[in-house]
Structure 1
C-alpha cells in the first residue's frame, strides 16, 4: 500500500510546481515468501533532517484535502495570528537546515590562593541555541564556586555551590518543537528548569595512615511546565477561551488517522499536565567515611550515609471525559469561569540509608578487592490495594487521600569481589563478581497514588523492591608490543525485579465513583546482557596515539510482548505467591540491544603546534518489531523483527595555542561534529498504530519519507563550531 501511495503522489501534476516528492522508504523490501515472518525490510536513512526550503505540508493533491478542513475554523479563532505554514513563520533566518541564529556558548573559570590557608575557584557557562526545528529555544546559565580552608595542617574544610538556570530563575521559557503542532507551535507549553546544589566537606587526618571525611550536600531541582499565555493560573473555561480548543483533522476511509493541531493550545489538550506541571525533587545527603592504610599492602575503608528526599510532584490538566475533577480549591468559585481540572499531586519524604566496607589487599603481585554494601529504603507512603482501592461504594469513598497498605522497609545486600594477578611479566588476568542494588525511580514508586487520570487507574507502587543486578567479569590485560596494550574482557550481567504494569479489576463493592480498573507496577521482568569487550591502545609516539574499543553484546528481556498488559483476576494470586508469572512470558531481544559497537579515538600532534582529536563511533542497529504478532501492521510486515541500519559518526577537534607572554596563552579551536554529515537512525518504534503509520499528509517530513516513526531518535547534521580560549 505504501509503495502505491508513493507512486500516485509523485505522479500528480501539482508536483511540478510544489517540488514535493515521496521517497521509497526501503533499501530492502522482500515479501516474496509465503510466510510473513520471513519477509525482510530495511528502511532508508537518506536526508530526514528538517529542510526549511521544502516543507510545504498543505498539499492540495487528491486525497489530501483533509489538511484544509480546519482552515475556516482556525481563521475564526486566530485573532489575527497566521495559521498558514510558511518557512519563515517561526524561523526568520532559517535556510538550508540552519538554525534561526547561530548557537553560542561561553565558558570561563578562574581561581587562586587566599592567603596561606585558603584557595578558591569559580566557573560559569552561558549557552544559547535556537535548535534545528521551528520555534525551538534553549538557554543554560550556571555558576559554580568552591573554597577550601585549612585551619590546621591535618584538617581541611571545603564549601562549594552550583546555581543553574534553564528558565526557572530568569522566567525565560525553553521551547520545544512537536510535529503534530507544526501549524501552531506557539500553542505548546514551555519548560522552566533550575537547580541549586550546595556541598560541605570536612576532612581530618588522624595519622599518616588514617583519615576520615564528613560530607553534607543539599540539592534543589525545579521543573515547571506551562503555557506563558496562561501562566500557573487555572485555565479559563472553554466557553470563554475559544482559542484553547484543539482541532485535529483526520484522514478518511480505512487508513490510519494522522492528526495535526491547526489551532489551539496544548494546555487544553493535555489532560495530565496541560495546565501546569511542577516537579521538585529536593534531596539532602549526609555521609561519613574513614580510610586506613593498615600496612603497605592492606587498605580498609568503611562508610555510612543517609539520603533524605523531599519529592513534590503536581500535574494538572482539563478534566475531560470521565476524568475526576480534583484541585477543587481552584474550581470552587463559579464566577471565576475556570476549566475543571484533573491530574495528580503528591508530596512524599522517602529515606535511604546505606553502609559499606571495602578492603584492598596485596600479596606480592596478587591484588584482591573485596567489599560489602547494604542499602535500606523506607518509602514512607502507603500504597493502593488494587482489589479494594476505596473503603466502599459510597461517593465519599472517592477521597483521593484514602490509601490502604503500608509497604515494608526494603533492604539490599551487595557483596563484591575483584582479583587480579600476573601470568607473565607483560600480562595479567582479572576477575570480578558483584551485586548492585538500585532503587526504583520515584515515579515508579509514587506516581498517581493520590489521584490520576482517567478513572484514577494508573498507580505507582511504593512496595517495589530494589532492582538487583549481578555482574560477572573475566579478562586479560597485556602489553603485546612495547607501547601497545590489549585488554580482552568477557562479561555477564543479570538484572531482576524490574517493574512491569499489571491490570486489576477492583471488587464490585469497592469500585467507588468513576473507578473501573486499576493499573499498577509489580517487580516482574528481567534482563540480561552478555558479551566481549576488546580494547587496544597505543601510547603517544611519532606524534600520534590511538585508542580503540570493540564490543559484541547480546541483550535480552524476559518479558511479556510489547503492548500486552498482564491481568490479575484474584487477590489470592497476588497475596499467596508474590508476583504471578505472566502467561505470555517470552525471551526477546531488548530494544537496547545493539549487537556491535566500535569506538576509536586518535590524538595527533600536527605541524605548527596544532593538536587534533578524531573520535569515531559505529554501532549496529537495534531491533524493531510490530507491537504484537496479532496486530495488523500497515507496512504488511506482521510479526517481522528486523534491525535498523548501522549508525556512524566522526567528530574532529583541533586547537592551536599561542603564547602571548610568560603567563598568557590564547587558543584558537574548531570542532566539527558529524564530519561526513551522515544520517543515522538510532531507534525505530514498535507500535504500528502510532510509530509506523502511513504519513500521507507530510510527504517530506522530518524523516524524508511517507512513514512516521522511522527515526524516533536521530542524530544532528554536521555542526561546525569555532572558538577561542584565553588563559593567564
Structure 2
C-alpha cells in the first residue's frame, strides 16, 4: 500500500516525505541525564539572575534562579553545544558537552560584561561548531582560518566551491538562476556592476576576507535585489598588534619552466599590513588628541598570467587604466594576457566600547581579452569560453577589456544600550568597463578580413562544377579589428540604515532603510568600420533611483526559531524612461506606454514602481541535535538596464534588427520553497540535507510588435513573458577526524527548465511540421548541470603536534589540502544524421530541434572532473612565520570539454563528424561562411597547472 502510494508521487514530493520520515527517527531509549551549574559575573563573582541557558538543537533549556543556579533535567544522552546569554554580557557557547546516561553534569560559567548589544560578541569554549543547527535557511560561512585551507585566490573561487553553485563561462549560477540574479555585497553594500552582466564587479583577494557567507536558500528581509543567492563578504580589520603578510607564487620560477605545459607564465603576489596606532601618533604629534584608538588594514594584490591556450598579444592597451598621477604609463598595468590588480585600505576608529567609525577604500582593475568580461547578451551568442578564437593569429588587433571598480564606504556603529544598536552606511560605488582596440575610439577601426594565402588556391564551388573560385582564407582574421566598441560606467550613491533591538530572550527586531541614486551611461557601437557611428549603435545616459524598507523579527522560544519579515523594494527608472514613454516617436507600443503608467505611481514628478515581498523561515528540533527547517519567500531582481533603456535615445540607431528597451518592464520575481534537515551525530560530524523548489516569473525575452500608423512596420522589444523553474536536493557532510583531519563532502541533484536561456530569444521561433511559427517550448537551461559532487580535505599538523602513521613519526608544521570536484557536462542541442551526403562524401547533420521537433539543450556533454592539491611547510625564525608551498590545479590533467561538438557530445578531436555549420577538416570547404576549423584550444578547460610559492607572516 505504501509502495503504491510512493509510486504515484512525483520525485520531489518523495524527497520531502523522506526528509520528514528521517526527521522523526529517534535513538534507542536511554536513561536521561542532567546538566546543572552556576552562572556568575566574571569580574565581581556575583551570581546572575535570569540568565538564559539553552541546549542548541533541542527543546532543552533553563534560566538561573535568584542564587544564579540552573538545572536542565531529562536530557537524552549525547554531545551538545550549550549557549549562555544575558543582556549586557558576552554570549558563551561551549561545544562538545557530553551528557552520559543517568549522570548529572556540572557546568559553571563566568560571564564577561560587555557594553555591546546582545549577540554582538560570542565566546566559544572548545572547538568551533561545524554548523549552526538553528539556521532557518541554507547558508554556508567560511572564516579566515577556513579560507586559508582552501585552494582559492579570490571570492569567485570560494563561491564556486559551494554546493549548488555552477561556474560556467566566467559566470556563477546559483541554484539554476541566471548569473546576474545574485547579489554581491562587501560590508553589506552592493558592489555589483549591473551593466556588465557577469554578476560580479569589485574583485577582492581571498587574504583580505575575514568571513564570507553564501546564502543559497531563502534569506531574510534585510537582503534584497537577488532571486538566486547572496554573497556577503566581510573584510579584515586591524588588531592590537602590528601584523604583516607577503606571498608570492609562480609557475615559471624565474623563467626556467616558461615553455612547459604546466606553466601559464604566472606571477601572483599578495601583501597585507595591519595594526594599531599610526593615526593616533600622527594626531598626537599634530597636537590633536582624539578619544579611543585607531586601527588600519592594507591589502594589495597583483596577478598576471598568459592564457593557457598559448595565444597572447604582444601588448594590451587600455585607455582607462590609471596612471597614478603620471608616475606610470597605462601599459604598466597590462604586461600579460590577463591582469588583475586590487587594493583595500580600511581604517577603524573605536571611539569607545559603544561607538565605532570605519572607512574603507576598495579598488580593483582587470585587463584582458576575455570576451566574457562583458556579457551584454543583447544579441544571442552560444555560451562559450571567452577566448576570441577567430583572432587567435591576430590578437594584437583584437579588443582589450578593462573593468575598473571602486568603492568608498563610511560605516557608523552605535550601541545605544545593552539591547539596541544601529548602523549607518554611506557608500559611493563606481564601475567602468571599456572594450576597445589600441586605446582608440571606434573611428579608428578597420574591417576584419580573412584574406587568401599565397600561393593562391582555387576550388570548384560545391554543386556547381562550371565555376572556379579563389579560396578566401583559413577562417582566421588577418587584418582589421573586432566587431564592436563598448564603454559604460556607473556611479551609485547609497545610504543604508539598520536598527536592531533585542526584546528579552524571545524577540530580535530589525528594521532598515536603503536609498540609492545612480548615474549610468552606455555606448555600444557595432561594426565601427561601417560608418561614422558603425552599422548600429546605442547610447543612453540615465539617472535611476531605487531603495527598500524592511522589517523582520527573529523569534526564539523553547527551541523553536521563527524568522518573519516583510520587504518593500522600490525603483524609479528615471526621467529618461518617463520621457521615452511620453515620446510617441519612440519604438514603444501603446500597450507598453499604458502598462508603464498603470504599474507605477507619481512621486515628486517621477514614476516609481514598488513591490512587497513576504519572507518566513522556521527551524525546530525533532530529536536531539536534529533540526528541521523550512523557509518560503518572494524575491525580486530589477531588469538589466539594457533591457529598459536600449535604443530609446534620440541618437540611437534604428537598424532593422535593433531590439528596443522597454521601460514598462517589471522586476523578475522568484518564489522559493526550501525544506531541510540538519543532524549533528557528534561534535565532529554534521549532516545536512535540503530540498528546494523555485519558480521564477517575469523573465525577460524578446517579442515583435506592430507599430501603429507606420504602414505595418514592426519592431522588437523586451517583455516580461518568460518563466523558469529550478528544483533540486543537496546533501553535505562535515567532519573532524582526530586532531589532524578536517573536511566536507557535498553533492547535489537539480533540474532547471525555462522557455529560453537568453533574453534575445523571441516568443515564437519553433517551427512545426507545417512550417508555421509556434510558441517556443519549455526546455533545459543552457547552464543546467544536473549533478555535482565536491569535497575538501585538509590534513593539518601544528608545531606542538607529532603524528604517527604505521608507527612512523612525521615532521610537524605542515598542511596538506585536497579539493576534488565532478559534475555533469555542459548541455547542448544534439544534431542527427539527415540520411544525406554531399557530393564529396561528407555526411549532413542537422539539429535535432529542427528535424525531430525536440527541445533545446536536451543532452549533456562529457562530464567534468578534477582534483586540486596544495602542500605547505611552515618554519618559525625570529618571530616570523615562513611558509613554502606548491599548488597543483587539475592534478591528473583531466580534459574537461567547454565547447561541445553536438554530434559526439564531447570536444572535437580530428576525424569526428561535425554539424553542417562547422568547417570539417576532413572535408575542407573554406568558402562557406562556417566557423573555422574546430581546433579551438579553449574547447577544453585549463590543463594541469603547477605553482610554487612562499609567504611570510609576522
Fold-level similarity (TM above 0.5): yes
**Alignment pair present for 1:366 and 2:560:** yes
How far residue 692 of structure 1 moved from its aligned partner, in angstroms, is: 7.2
The one of 664, 670, 681 equivalent to 1:469 is: 670
Post-superposition CA distance 1:328-384 (Å, at most 9, x none): xxxxxxxxxxxx674111101111110111111111111111111111111115569
**Alignment pair present for 1:118 and 2:294:** yes
Tell me if the contact between 2:475 and 2:933 (Cα under 8 Å) persists in the aligned partners. no
How far residue 649 of structure 1 moved from its aligned partner, in angstroms, is: 1.2
How far residue 307 of structure 1 moved from its aligned partner, in angstroms, is: 1.8
Give the structure 1 partner of residue 267 of structure 2: 104
Tell me if the contact between 2:728 and 2:750 (Cα under 8 Å) persists in the aligned partners. yes
Q: SS at 1:678's partner residue? A: coil
In 2, distance between residues paired with 1:318 and 1:622? 31
TM-score (normalizing by structure 1): 0.70
Q: SS at 1:618's partner residue? A: strand
Q: SS at 2:648's partner residue? A: coil
Alignment of 1:621-700 (within 5 A): 621-626=825-830, 634-636=844-846, 638-639=848-849, 641-661=858-878, 663-682=879-898, 684=900, 693-697=917-921
In 1, distance between residues paired with 2:715 and 2:759? 19
Post-superposition CA distance 1:551-574 (Å, at most 9, x none): 111211145999963369xxxxxx
In 1, distance between residues paired with 2:715 and 2:901? 27
The one of 172, 184, 187 equivalent to 2:394 is: 184
Give the structure 2 partner of residue 424 of structure 1: 623
Tell me if the contact between 2:262 and 2:944 (Cα under 8 Å) persists in the aligned partners. no
TM-score (normalizing by structure 2): 0.54
Give the structure 2 partner of residue 415 of structure 1: 614
Give the structure 2 partner of residue 316 of structure 1: 525
**Judging changes above 3 Å, is the alpha-carbon distance between structure 1 residues 691 and 132 closer, same or farther for their aligned structure 2 residues?**
farther
Q: SS at 2:390's partner residue? A: helix
Tell me if the contact between 1:199 and 1:217 (Cα under 8 Å) persists in the aligned partners. yes
Structure 2 runs not aligned, ≥5 long: 1-254, 281-291, 314-336, 375-385, 453-457, 465-470, 601-607, 766-772, 798-809, 837-842, 905-913, 925-930
**Alignment pair present for 1:219 and 2:429:** yes
In 2, distance between residues paired with 1:616 and 1:313? 41
How far residue 436 of structure 1 moved from its aligned partner, in angstroms, is: 1.1
In 1, distance between residues paired with 2:834 and 2:667? 34
In 2, distance between residues paired with 1:184 and 1:712? 16
The one of 244, 265, 271 equivalent to 2:480 is: 265
Q: SS at 2:642's partner residue? A: helix
In 1, distance between residues paired with 2:779 and 2:295? 55
Give the structure 2 partner of residue 620 of structure 1: 824
Post-superposition CA distance 1:92-118 (Å, at most 9, x none): 99746466x621010011111114511
Post-superposition CA distance 1:467-514 (Å, at most 9, x none): 111111112111235632211111111111100111224346368xxx
Q: SS at 2:726's partner residue? A: strand
Alignment of 1:229-240 (within 5 A): 231-232=440-441, 234-235=443-444
In 2, distance between residues paired with 1:434 and 1:205? 31
Give the structure 2 partner of residue 51 of structure 1: none
In 1, distance between residues paired with 2:951 and 2:346? 22
Deviates more, 1:349-358 or 1:244-253: 244-253
The one of 271, 296, 299 equivalent to 2:505 is: 296
In 2, distance between residues paired with 1:560 and 1:126? 35
Give the structure 2 partner of residue 277 of structure 1: 486
Tell me if the contact between 2:701 and 2:759 (Cα under 8 Å) persists in the aligned partners. no
Q: SS at 1:266's partner residue? A: coil
**Alignment pair present for 1:551 and 2:748:** yes
Q: SS at 1:207's partner residue? A: coil
Tell me if the contact between 2:819 and 2:867 (Cα under 8 Å) persists in the aligned partners. yes
Give the structure 2 partner of residue 331 of structure 1: none
Tell me if the contact between 2:921 and 2:933 (Cα under 8 Å) persists in the aligned partners. no
Tell me if the contact between 1:180 and 1:260 (Cα under 8 Å) persists in the aligned partners. yes
How far residue 455 of structure 1 moved from its aligned partner, in angstroms, is: 3.2
Q: SS at 1:150's partner residue? A: strand
How far residue 585 of structure 1 moved from its aligned partner, in angstroms, is: 4.0
Post-superposition CA distance 1:366-416 (Å, at most 9, x none): 11111111111111155699999964xxxxx999xxx97866332222211
The one of 645, 658, 661 equivalent to 1:457 is: 658
Tell me if the contact between 1:674 and 1:719 (Cα under 8 Å) persists in the aligned partners. yes
**Alignment pair present for 1:727 and 2:953:** yes
Post-superposition CA distance 1:32-65 (Å, at most 9, x none): xxxxxxxxxxxxxxxxxxxxxxxxxxxxxxxxxx
Alignment of 1:451-600 (within 5 A): 451-452=652-653, 454-455=655-656, 457-480=658-681, 483-507=684-708, 509=710, 517-559=714-756, 565-566=762-763, 583-600=774-791
Tell me if the contact between 2:692 and 2:728 (Cα under 8 Å) persists in the aligned partners. yes
Alignment of 1:70-89 (within 5 A): none
**Judging changes above 3 Å, is the alpha-carbon distance between structure 1 residues 301 and 388 closer, same or farther for their aligned structure 2 residues?**
closer
In 1, distance between residues paired with 2:535 and 2:899? 36
Q: SS at 1:509's partner residue? A: coil
How far residue 626 of structure 1 moved from its aligned partner, in angstroms, is: 4.9
**Alignment pair present for 1:346 and 2:540:** yes
**Judging changes above 3 Å, is the alpha-carbon distance between structure 1 residues 145 and 589 closer, same or farther for their aligned structure 2 residues?**
same
Give the structure 2 partner of residue 378 of structure 1: 572
Give the structure 2 partner of residue 18 of structure 1: none
Alignment of 1:437-448 (within 5 A): 437-448=636-647
Q: SS at 1:462's partner residue? A: coil
Alignment of 1:3-14 (within 5 A): none
In 2, distance between residues paired with 1:691 and 1:129? 35
Structure 1 runs not aligned, ≥5 long: 1-90, 237-242, 328-339, 392-396, 569-581
Alignment of 1:247-266 (within 5 A): 247=450, 252-253=461-462, 260-266=475-481
Tell me if the contact between 2:434 and 2:486 (Cα under 8 Å) persists in the aligned partners. yes
Tell me if the contact between 1:531 and 1:552 (Cα under 8 Å) persists in the aligned partners. yes
**Alignment pair present for 1:147 and 2:324:** no
In 2, distance between residues paired with 1:246 and 1:583? 38
How far residue 629 of structure 1 moved from its aligned partner, in angstroms, is: 13
In 1, distance between residues paired with 2:410 and 2:659? 40
In 1, distance between residues paired with 2:654 and 2:824? 39
How far residue 529 of structure 1 moved from its aligned partner, in angstroms, is: 1.2
How far residue 150 of structure 1 moved from its aligned partner, in angstroms, is: 2.8
Deviates more, 1:249-258 or 1:418-427: 249-258
How far residue 244 of structure 1 moved from its aligned partner, in angstroms, is: 4.9
In 2, distance between residues paired with 1:253 and 1:384? 55
How far residue 685 of structure 1 moved from its aligned partner, in angstroms, is: 7.8
Tell me if the contact between 1:560 and 1:586 (Cα under 8 Å) persists in the aligned partners. no
Tell me if the contact between 1:691 and 1:709 (Cα under 8 Å) persists in the aligned partners. no
Post-superposition CA distance 1:142-165 (Å, at most 9, x none): 221011113343211110102323
